[in-house]
Amino acid sequence: MALMQRIKAGDPDARQKLITGNLRHVLHSNRRYARSGAGIFDLLKAGDLGLAHALDNFETKGDGSFPAYAATCIRQHIEHALNLAPADGKKPGHARHPVKSGRHQAATHSTPDSCQN
Protein backbone atom coordinates (compact mmCIF):
# COMPACT_ATOMS: atom_id res chain seq x y z
CA MET A 1 0.00 0.00 0.00
CA ALA A 2 3.01 2.29 0.26
CA LEU A 3 3.02 2.47 -3.53
CA MET A 4 -0.60 3.66 -3.57
CA GLN A 5 0.23 6.33 -0.98
CA ARG A 6 3.09 7.56 -3.16
CA ILE A 7 0.73 7.67 -6.15
CA LYS A 8 -1.87 9.66 -4.20
CA ALA A 9 0.93 12.07 -3.22
CA GLY A 10 1.66 12.61 -6.93
CA ASP A 11 4.77 10.49 -7.56
CA PRO A 12 4.88 9.78 -11.35
CA ASP A 13 7.47 7.00 -10.95
CA ALA A 14 5.20 5.09 -8.57
CA ARG A 15 2.27 5.51 -10.99
CA GLN A 16 4.33 4.18 -13.90
CA LYS A 17 5.55 1.23 -11.83
CA LEU A 18 2.00 0.22 -10.87
CA ILE A 19 0.73 0.59 -14.45
CA THR A 20 3.53 -1.50 -15.97
CA GLY A 21 3.14 -4.08 -13.22
CA ASN A 22 -0.54 -4.57 -14.04
CA LEU A 23 -0.44 -4.56 -17.86
CA ARG A 24 -0.82 -8.34 -17.77
CA HIS A 25 -4.46 -7.78 -16.79
CA VAL A 26 -4.98 -5.74 -19.97
CA LEU A 27 -3.46 -8.51 -22.10
CA HIS A 28 -5.51 -11.20 -20.35
CA SER A 29 -8.75 -9.25 -20.87
CA ASN A 30 -7.90 -8.62 -24.54
CA ARG A 31 -7.64 -12.35 -25.19
CA ARG A 32 -11.33 -12.69 -24.31
CA TYR A 33 -12.31 -10.21 -27.03
CA ALA A 34 -9.71 -11.06 -29.69
CA ARG A 35 -12.31 -12.44 -32.12
CA SER A 36 -14.83 -9.66 -31.61
CA GLY A 37 -13.97 -7.90 -34.86
CA ALA A 38 -12.31 -4.87 -33.28
CA GLY A 39 -8.64 -4.17 -33.86
CA ILE A 40 -6.16 -5.41 -31.27
CA PHE A 41 -4.68 -1.94 -30.84
CA ASP A 42 -8.12 -0.48 -30.16
CA LEU A 43 -8.69 -3.12 -27.50
CA LEU A 44 -5.28 -2.45 -25.96
CA LYS A 45 -5.97 1.28 -25.88
CA ALA A 46 -9.33 0.73 -24.20
CA GLY A 47 -7.71 -1.61 -21.69
CA ASP A 48 -4.99 0.92 -20.91
CA LEU A 49 -7.64 3.58 -20.34
CA GLY A 50 -9.44 1.20 -18.00
CA LEU A 51 -6.23 0.58 -16.06
CA ALA A 52 -5.60 4.32 -15.73
CA HIS A 53 -9.21 4.83 -14.62
CA ALA A 54 -8.80 2.11 -11.98
CA LEU A 55 -5.62 3.72 -10.72
CA ASP A 56 -7.26 7.14 -10.41
CA ASN A 57 -10.40 5.89 -8.66
CA PHE A 58 -9.15 3.09 -6.40
CA GLU A 59 -9.79 3.63 -2.70
CA THR A 60 -7.14 2.12 -0.41
CA LYS A 61 -9.47 1.98 2.61
CA GLY A 62 -11.70 -0.83 1.33
CA ASP A 63 -11.34 -4.60 1.48
CA GLY A 64 -10.86 -5.07 -2.27
CA SER A 65 -7.51 -5.47 -3.96
CA PHE A 66 -6.27 -3.25 -6.74
CA PRO A 67 -5.79 -6.05 -9.32
CA ALA A 68 -9.41 -7.18 -8.91
CA TYR A 69 -10.69 -3.61 -9.25
CA ALA A 70 -8.37 -2.99 -12.21
CA ALA A 71 -9.56 -6.14 -14.01
CA THR A 72 -13.17 -4.99 -13.65
CA CYS A 73 -12.41 -1.49 -14.96
CA ILE A 74 -10.38 -2.88 -17.87
CA ARG A 75 -13.17 -5.27 -18.89
CA GLN A 76 -15.79 -2.50 -18.69
CA HIS A 77 -13.72 -0.14 -20.84
CA ILE A 78 -13.10 -2.83 -23.46
CA GLU A 79 -16.79 -3.77 -23.59
CA HIS A 80 -17.72 -0.10 -23.87
CA ALA A 81 -15.28 0.32 -26.77
CA LEU A 82 -16.78 -2.74 -28.48
CA ASN A 83 -20.29 -1.34 -28.09
CA LEU A 84 -19.20 1.90 -29.74
CA ALA A 85 -17.56 0.16 -32.69
CA PRO A 86 -18.88 1.60 -35.98
CA ALA A 87 -19.33 -1.85 -37.54
CA ASP A 88 -22.17 -2.56 -35.15
CA GLY A 89 -24.35 0.24 -36.46
CA LYS A 90 -27.28 1.24 -34.28
CA LYS A 91 -28.14 -2.06 -32.67
CA PRO A 92 -29.09 -2.11 -29.00
CA GLY A 93 -26.46 -3.36 -26.57
CA HIS A 94 -28.04 -6.77 -25.98
CA ALA A 95 -28.19 -7.52 -29.74
CA ARG A 96 -24.61 -6.67 -30.70
CA HIS A 97 -22.91 -9.84 -29.57
CA PRO A 98 -25.56 -12.54 -29.30
CA VAL A 99 -24.59 -15.93 -27.94
CA LYS A 100 -26.63 -18.78 -29.37
CA SER A 101 -26.55 -22.45 -28.58
CA GLY A 102 -25.64 -24.96 -31.27
CA ARG A 103 -29.18 -26.37 -31.36
CA HIS A 104 -30.65 -22.89 -31.81
CA GLN A 105 -28.33 -22.13 -34.72
CA ALA A 106 -29.05 -25.48 -36.38
CA ALA A 107 -32.81 -24.93 -36.09
CA THR A 108 -32.83 -21.36 -37.37
CA HIS A 109 -30.20 -21.42 -40.13
CA SER A 110 -30.75 -23.39 -43.31
CA THR A 111 -27.99 -24.48 -45.64
CA PRO A 112 -27.07 -22.12 -48.48
CA ASP A 113 -28.50 -22.80 -51.96
CA SER A 114 -25.08 -23.69 -53.35
CA CYS A 115 -24.80 -26.59 -50.87
CA GLN A 116 -28.15 -28.19 -51.70
CA ASN A 117 -28.29 -31.04 -54.21
116 within domain boundaries: no
Rounded Cα distance between 106 and 13, Å, is: 55
Residue 10 covered by a domain:
yes
Q: Kindly report the CATH number assigned to the domain that includes residue 59.
A: 1.20.120.1810
Domain of 6 in residue numbering reads as: 2-109
CA dihedral 19, 10, 13, 6 (to 10 degrees): -80
What are 70-94's pLDDT values in tens digits? 999 999 999 888 887 665 455 565 6
In a 13 Å sphere around the CA of 96, the CA atoms on its Cβ side amount to: 18
What's the pLDDT tens digit per position in 14-60? Answer: 889 988 888 888 988 888 888 877 788 888 999 999 999 998 888 87
Task: Report the pLDDT averaged over residues 102-117.
Answer: 47
Number of domains in the chain: 1
Supply the pTM of this predicted model. Answer: 0.65
Tell me which residue of 85, 4, 89 sits closest to 37, measured CA to CA.
85
pLDDT mean over 102-115: 48
Question: What is the Cα–Cα distance from 43 to 77, expressed in whole angstroms?
Answer: 9
